[in-house]
Homo-oligomer: A and B are copies of this chain.
Amino acid sequence: MIVNKIQKRICVTGLGHIGLPVACILATSGYAVLGVDIDDRVVIRVQSADFMDPEPNLQDLLIRAIQNGSLEASMNVAPADIHIIAVPTLLVPGNKPDISYVNAAIDAIKPHLRSHDLVLIESTCPIGTTEAIARKLQQACPGVHVAYCPERVLPGNIVHELIHNDRVVGGVDEASTAHAVTFYQSFVRGEVIATDVRTAEAVKLAENAYRDVNIAYANELSMIADHMELDINELIRLANRHPRVQILKPGPGVGGHCIAVDPWFLVAGAPDLAILTLKAREVNTKKTDWVIQKVRQAIRENGATVVACLGLAYKSNVSDTGTSPALAVVQALEREIEVLCVDPYIPNTVTLYDALARAEIVVALVAHRAFLNIPSHSLAGKIVLDFAGVFK
């Protein structure tokens, strides 16, 4: 890591799945970091370096940052050379963007801003958001720098990717862009690429809508393969031997904070044009219902009374169940039958051993590592429905 000779003070607002790793990386890169969150439980857990998260390396970085005093946590912002906004952006009913947390974070830092401070927005935003925020901030504090820089990391590999991925940075003016580029170059080992602020915002939306469209294609293909009585895993494995084809893995739908949300920001900005993007959201949502119907059909046809569901998280090898399609499947089934939930990342779930001992139907929903080597003899005599490519 490059250590800045003059220790700059950084305030990171939002200590969630992006903000906390960012704060820890900066605090162990020579910066003095204040992490801010509106949730007092989060602040207390960060202060005591007590964070139960399977994210690799995060716990170690947090302990180092707290022990050497370079990371503090608070519910209140304070003056800083650089403010990073890493709060969630959500959807309101009707799937319109909700940037109220970003606006609240901006309102909180505004009284503390000084000329030449840098405000960095990392939260996913509709195109044009950063310019609107900059107008407000530069009116209150002339000379403040404002830039947008989307994160583009994979949950399960966040710490590594925050450091090693390329970053796209767009400031509202040249001074803001230059300031932001210099800052990211101080701790990012990938390339830091300057562009304009609206393009930087659009890049994040384009990335996640691309992922959503490609997952939707895999999910659609899995339903077609089932209809045609073909093995979807074999079909995709063979299609991907084509030099220009890389079909993703299907699953029970799409969850999480980015891919299930960000495409709606693109749709909201251009509803008449983002029609494939919209259809991809529909297909990925429909896939969850299709999975539920498939399990119901198997229950009915086999007169089953106990179902084991492998995986509750929204993707493999993470603990997060936020907007998880696997959780939605389980919740639908629980109203009708006894469901044994197995997820090694989530407390109070059933062990794999117990679930396989009791269930007549085994439903794979998430390809957690722990599920990939289940011996076939332990599934003998059971109906197996694999929606996550676990038993291929």
- Which residues in A have some Cβ–Cβ distance to B below 8 Å? 127, 152, 154, 161, 165-166, 168, 191, 193, 195, 198-200, 202-203, 206-207, 209-211, 213-214, 216-217, 220-221, 223-225, 227-231, 234-236, 238-239, 241-247, 266, 269-270, 273-277, 279-280, 282-283
- Name 26 interchain pairs, CB-CB below 8 A, sorted by A: A152-B243, A161-B243, A165-B242, A166-B241, A166-B242, A168-B241, A191-B241, A195-B234, A203-B238, A203-B239, A206-B235, A207-B239, A207-B242, A213-B214, A213-B217, A214-B214, A220-B276, A223-B270, A224-B266, A224-B270, A227-B270, A228-B269, A246-B246, A275-B279, A276-B276, A279-B279
Could you tell me the distance between the alpha carbons of A247 and B269 in the complex, rounded to whole angstroms?
Answer: 20
Could you tell me the distance between the alpha carbons of A213 and B243 in the complex, rounded to whole angstroms?
Answer: 16
Contacts of A269 in B (CB 8 A): 224, 228
Could you tell me the distance between the alpha carbons of A217 and B206 in the complex, rounded to whole angstroms?
Answer: 9
A203-B238, A213-B213, A224-B273 given; name 6 further pairs at CB < 8 Å. Answer: A166-B241, A195-B234, A202-B228, A217-B276, A220-B276, A227-B270
Could you tell me the distance between the alpha carbons of A247 and B195 in the complex, rounded to whole angstroms?
Answer: 18
Contacts of A199 in B (CB 8 A): 230-231, 234-235, 238
Residue with the highest number of chain B CB atoms closer than 10 Å, among A200, A223, A244: A244
4 closest A-B pairs (Cβ-Cβ)? A166-B241, A279-B279, A224-B270, A206-B239
Please state if B202 and A235 are interface contacts (CB–CB under 8 Å): yes
Q: In the complex, which residue of chain B has the Cβ closest to the Cβ of A223?
A: B273
CB < 8 Å neighbour of A273 from B165, B209, B220, B282: B220
Q: In the complex, which residue of chain B has the Cβ closest to the Cβ of A279?
A: B279
Contacts of A277 in B (CB 8 A): 217, 220
Please state if A273 and B227 are interface contacts (CB–CB under 8 Å): yes
Residue with the highest number of chain B CB atoms closer than 10 Å, among A209, A216, A224, A274: A224
A6 to chain B, nearest CB (A): 30
Q: In the complex, which residue of chain B has the Cβ closest to the Cβ of A278?
A: B279
CB < 8 Å neighbour of A245 from B202, B210, B220, B228: B210
Contacts of A236 in B (CB 8 A): 206
- Contact status of A239 and B213, CB under 8 A, knowing A225-B202, A279-B276: no
Contacts of A279 in B (CB 8 A): 275-276, 279
Could you tell me the distance between the alpha carbons of A276 and B213 in the complex, rounded to whole angstroms?
Answer: 8
Please state if A238 and B165 are interface contacts (CB–CB under 8 Å): no
Could you tell me the distance between the alpha carbons of A2 and B51 in the complex, rounded to whole angstroms?
Answer: 62
- Contact status of A238 and B283, CB under 8 A, knowing A273-B223, A273-B227, A275-B220: no
Could you tell me the distance between the alpha carbons of A207 and B273 in the complex, rounded to whole angstroms?
Answer: 25
Could you tell me the distance between the alpha carbons of A246 and B152 in the complex, rounded to whole angstroms?
Answer: 14
A141 to chain B, nearest CB (A): 28
Could you tell me the distance between the alpha carbons of A211 and B244 in the complex, rounded to whole angstroms?
Answer: 8
Q: In the complex, which residue of chain B has the Cβ closest to the Cβ of A213?
A: B217
Could you tell me the distance between the alpha carbons of A283 and B193 in the complex, rounded to whole angstroms?
Answer: 31
Residue with the highest number of chain B CB atoms closer than 10 Å, among A127, A243, A266: A243
Residue with the highest number of chain B CB atoms closer than 10 Å, among A210, A214, A230, A282: A210
